[in-house]
Structure 1
Amino acid sequence: MRLPRVKPEHAPHRLGDGTVRLGGVLYGIASEVADPGGCVWVALALMDGTRSPTRIAAELRSRFADLTAEESDEVVTALIRSGHVEEADPGPCEALSEQEKERYSRSRDYFRWVDVTPRDHGWEPQLRLKNARVLVLGLGGTGSHVAWSLAASGVGRLHLVDPDDVELSNLNRQILYTEADVGRPKAEVAAERLRAVNSGIEITAEDARVDDPAELGRLVDGCDVLALCADHPREPGGIRTWANRVCAEAGIPWVSGGYDGPLVSVGVFGPGGPCFECVRAGIPPRPGADFAWPGVTGASAGISGQLVAHDVVAIITGLMVTPPGYFHGLALLDPDEHVYARYPSRTDCEFCY
């Protein structure tokens, strides 16, 4: 890094005992550094984008006589590696056009905030999205919001699959359709709408029903992530079980979400974590519980879809705080109730990663 600068969102704060806190109070991002002598605090103040690491280390030594060259270099290096510091004069990113940079400028601001990996120019997460291929299976209440969000976020290739036509009862929650679309294939309409949202990505569509694992295997072939938003065939032994096994064999991460009335939940699975069947086996059974029961509003479907899209983006960009292998979500009638379930792999599981 040529000219390190502390990210504005990660501005340091000094606690009463001398500890330095970076990154605010955001879970998975914030860091605390013991700094009884004050050299870390001074080093951060010097990281204003006008000095090289070598110069910062030299100024530290001039202010702290007992600090060795090795120690001052170590302080500067550790702070740069922490991810709370960025390059003040980043090099060019030629893989994105100026139009793309303008379109995704707010996304870059978000990624630079939450990303604690030192980067050359800050566009690396967006480039990962541009080079990714995602299958969105199911374009209903959850899936329509997922597809819109991923297209708007700049996922380079989206393949949309749904066997159904648009119905009037869909319009209370399915964001991509209008009254004029009733009777038309959802996949066709969704692709048409999303091409108007983002003409810079490739969007393909397929009016297909997944009736067996082999068909699902055909669809996920060549994808980086599966966004599973279909709810048929239902569990046990249904579409999510098929996805668990097909994606395990292919080494593809997948995210699935939906709603049981006011309960919105999302599952994140893939290499590095316990599989869907192992996590599901640890959750106590609840009579009637399943994704996509009839009761739903535009808001509850939107929350479901946006949570799925968030996790898909986190997987692609590498910005996931928690390894795969869990369910999470929220109960809309109880804002204090956060849903989280993670259980270890069963010893006899043949599908775990």
Structure 2
Amino acid sequence: MRLPRVKPEHAPHRSGDGTVRLGGALYGIASEIADADGWAWTALGLMDGTRPPAEIAAELRACYPVLTCEEAEGIVATLLSSGHVEDAAPEPCPELTEREKERHSRTRDYFRWVDLTPRDHGWEPQVRIKNARVVVLGLGGTGSHVAWTLAAAGVGRLHLVDPDVVELSNLNRQILYTEPDVGRLKAEVALDRLRQVNSEIGITAEAAAVDGPGRLARLIDGFDVLALCADRPRGPSGIQTWANRVCAEAGIPWVSGGYNGPLVSVGVFGPGGPCYECVRAGIPPCPGADYAWPGVTGASAGLSGHLVAHDVLALVTGVMSTPPGYFHGVMLLDPDGHVYARYPSRPDCDICS
């Protein structure tokens, strides 16, 4: 890092006992430093984007002669590795065009805020998104929002799959379609719409039904993540079980989401965590557990789709991702009703135990 400065969203605050807090109050981002002597506070003040690390360490030692050179350099190095500091003179990023940088500048700002991994230029998460290959299976209430969000985010290769045509009853929640599209294939309409959203990525589509695990395996071949937004066939041996086994065989993660009335939930599964069948076995039976209930608003469908897209982006960037093997979501009737379920692998599971 050539000219370190504290990220503006992580501006430090110092309490009366000398504790320094960085990153505000955001869960998983904030850090606290016990700093009774004021060394860290002074070093952070010197990190204003005008000095290289060696000069910061030298000025810190000038302020506190009790520090050795090694100690001053160690304090600076620790702060640089904390993720709360960025380079005011970042390295260039040749992987993205200037047009792409303008398009995704707000995304870069977001990842700068939440990403605690020191970066060369801050565009690394966006480069990973550009290089990602994602299948979106199902373009209904959840899937239409997923597809739009991933296209807008700049996922470099999107493949859209849905066998259905647009119906009038879809228009209360399925963001990609309008009244003139009724009767047209969803895959065809979605392809047209998303190419207008982002002409710089590769988007393909097919109007096909997935009728078994073999078809699903061929569909995901060569892709990095599956966004499963289809809900047929349902049941214990339905499409989610197919995805669980096929994606495990392929070694790729998958995200599935939907809505059961006011309950919006998403599952994230893949290498390194309990599989879908193990986690699902730990959840008590409940109505609509396979996303089969029809009651939905544009808001609940949008929430499910954006949560799925968020988890896909977390997987492909590696930023703020949780190890796979869990369901999470919200209960819209309860402001405090955050949903989280994670259960260990069953000892006899041949997929993840």
TM tier relative to shorter chain: over 0.9
Corresponding residue number in structure 2 for 1:11: 11
Structure-to-structure mapping, 1:43-82, within 5 angstroms: 43-82=43-82
CA distance in 2, matches of 1:102, 1:182: 35
Structure-to-structure mapping, 1:1-353, within 5 angstroms: 1-352=1-352
SS at match of 1:50: coil
Q: Which segments of 5 or more consecutive residues in structure 2 lack a partner in the other structure? A: none
CA distance in 2, matches of 1:259, 1:196: 28
CA distance in 1, matches of 2:16, 2:217: 57
Q: Tell me by how many angstroms 1:65 deviates.
A: 1.7
Q: Count the aligned residue pairs.
A: 353
Q: Tell me by how many angstroms 1:235 deviates.
A: 2.1
Q: Tell me by how many angstroms 1:288 deviates.
A: 4.3
Q: Tell me by how many angstroms 1:228 deviates.
A: 0.4
SS at match of 1:21: strand
Verify the 8 A CA contact 1:85 1:118 in the aligned structure 2. yes
CA distance in 2, matches of 1:119, 1:215: 40
CA distance in 2, matches of 1:321, 1:27: 13
Which amino acid in the other structure matches residue 108 of structure 1?
A: R
Which amino acid in the other structure matches residue 160 of structure 1?
A: L
The TM-score normalised by the length of structure 2 is 0.98
- CA deviation string 1:162-187 (max 9, x = no partner): 01111111111000011111111111
The TM-score normalised by the length of structure 1 is 0.98
CA distance in 2, matches of 1:323, 1:289: 22
Q: Which moved more, 1:138-147 or 1:269-278?
A: 269-278
Query: What RMSD in Å do the two structures reach over aligned CA positions?
Result: 1.0
Q: Tell me by how many angstroms 1:16 deviates.
A: 2.5
Verify the 8 A CA contact 1:28 1:321 in the aligned structure 2. no
CA distance in 2, matches of 1:336, 1:228: 27
CA distance in 2, matches of 1:167, 1:312: 28
CA distance in 1, matches of 2:209, 2:262: 28
Verify the 8 A CA contact 2:227 2:255 in the aligned structure 1. yes
CA distance in 1, matches of 2:75, 2:295: 56
- CA deviation string 1:98-140 (max 9, x = no partner): 1111111111111111111111111111010111110000000
CA distance in 1, matches of 2:90, 2:274: 39
SS at match of 2:117: coil
SS at match of 1:82: coil
Verify the 8 A CA contact 2:311 2:321 in the aligned structure 1. no
| Greater than 2 Å deviation, 4+ residue runs | 287-290
CA distance in 1, matches of 2:30, 2:321: 12
- CA deviation string 1:234-281 (max 9, x = no partner): 121111111111111111011100000010000011112111111111
Q: Tell me by how many angstroms 1:292 deviates.
A: 4.2
- CA deviation string 1:274-333 (max 9, x = no partner): 111111111111144331411001111000000000111111111134211110000011
